[in-house]
Copies of this chain bind each other. A is one copy, B any other.
Amino acid sequence: MSATYRVTGMTCGGCARSVESAIKAVSADAKVVIDLGKAAVTVDGATEAQVKQAVDEAGFGFEGKA
């Protein structure tokens, strides 16, 4: 089951790739889709707590479910 979160501070494709990598570092099998324009990160295969930890450690702003 996937969930979509609002993540602030991503300004380019490198930022988006960084968020995706950070999430996969805490949950290797997660599927991640990022909509940069909407600041939306959709994740399948990781808990909200895992996503929050990954986003925090990567230096972006986790704002909960979108």
Contacts and interface: CB of A to CB of B under 8 A. Distances in A.
Given A21-B59, A58-B22, A59-B22, A11 B9 contact: no
A11 B21 CA distance: 16
Contacts of A12: 11-12, 14-15
Copy tally for this chain in the complex stands at 2
Interface residues of A, number: 19
SS class, residues of chain A in contact with chain B: helix
Given A11-B13, A12-B14, 5 more contacts: A14-B59, A17-B59, A20-B59, A21-B56, A58-B58
B18 A60 contact: yes
A33 B51 CA distance: 26
